[in-house]
Amino acid sequence: MKTKDWFTDWFNTPYYYILYKDRNDIDAQLFMKNITELLALPKTTHILDLPCGKGRHSVFLNSLGYKVTGGDLAENSIKIAKEFENENLKFKVHDMRKPFNNTYDAVFNLFTSFGYFEDDKEDLLILQNIKNGLNKDGYFVFDFLNAAYVKANLVKQETKIVDEITFNITREIKDGFIFKNISFFADDKNHSYTERVKYLDETKMKTYFEKVGFKITNIFGDYKLNKFKVETSNRLILIAK
Ligand SMILES: C[S@@+](CC[C@H](N)C(=O)[O-])C[C@H]1O[C@@H](n2cnc3c(N)ncnc32)[C@H](O)[C@@H]1O
C-alpha cells in the first residue's frame, strides 16, 4: 500500500528493523523499570503502549506484572507482536489519530513516536485522544528526542552497515522538521526512505500539553531519569496527568 504518509511505508518494512537492530533494549527496559517505580504504578495498572512497534516495551512491562495493550498502525509489527500475547498482554492495529474504544490507567508514547504530521492540529488531536483515553489520575509518559540537542549535534552524513546492507544516511533540519534520508541497496533494488519528525522542543511541547489540559508533573532528560538539561540531555521525557 503506497500512501503519502512516510511512516506507513517505512515502519512497515523489514529494513526499518534491520537498521535499528542495535537499538538498546537494555536501556529501554531500564527506562520502563525506572518510570514504573517512580510513578509507583500498582500491578493492577492497565498500560497502553502507543505506538508499540513490535512490542518491546509492552512485553517487558507485562513481564513486570502489568496488564498491557499495545497499539500501532504498522500491521506487520502488530502481527509479530501478537506472538507474545497472553491474558494480560494484547496487541491491536490502531491509528493514534483515532479515539480509543477503551480507557487506561497510563498511556506511554515512547522512543520518538510523535511529530510525524505536518499540521499541529494532528499533534494536538493525538494528545487529546490520549488525554480522553486516560482514567482519572492516569499518567501520560511521553519520550521524545531533545530537538535542541539534535540540532547542536547533528550528524549530517553517516554510513551504517547492518546485516550486509549499507545504509547511507543524511540528516538536515529545515522548515521546522528534522529529516533523516536513508538510502540503500537490498533485495536487488535501490531503496530510499525519509524519516521526518517535527522540530518540537521543550517550549512547544509544553504549549501542546497545556492546550489539551495536561498537567506536567516531571521532566527528565534521559532513561536514567536525570533532570532535563537542554544542552546535554539526549531525550525530552514529560510525565503528565
Ligand atoms: C520510532 S517507532 C517506535 C515504536 C516503539 N515505541 C518502540 O520503541 O519500539 C514509531 C512507531 O510509530 C508507529 N506509527 C506511526 N504513525 C502512527 C499512527 N498514526 N498511529 C499509530 N502508530 C503509528 C510506527 O508504525 C512505528 O512503529
- Give the C-alpha separation, 130 to 107, whole Å: 7
Beta bridge partners of 140: 107, 240
In the structure grid, which three cell numbers stand for residue 85, read together? 500475547
Grid cell, residue 15, equals: 529494513
Longest dimension (CA), the chain: 53
C-alpha cell at 10: 517505512
pLDDT tens for the chain, 241 residues: list them: 334 577 778 888 999 989 988 777 888 999 999 999 999 999 999 999 999 999 999 999 999 999 999 999 999 999 999 999 999 999 999 999 999 999 999 999 999 999 999 999 999 999 999 999 999 999 999 999 999 999 999 999 999 999 999 999 999 999 999 999 999 999 999 999 999 999 999 999 999 999 999 999 999 999 999 999 999 999 999 999 9
Closest atom of ligand 1 relative to the 95 alpha carbon = 20
Distance 197 CA to ligand 1 centre (A): 12
Q: Is 189 exposed, middle or buried (0-12, 13-18, 19+ CB in 10 A)?
A: exposed
Entry pTM: 0.94
Q: How far apart are CA 122 and CA 24, in angstroms?
A: 29
Ligand 1 atom nearest residue 126's Cα = 19
Please name the residue whose Cα sits nearest to atom 2 of ligand 1: 113
Distance from the CA of 51 to the center of ligand 1, in angstroms? 4
Q: Which atom of ligand 1 is nearest to the CA of 97?
A: 19
SS3 78: helix
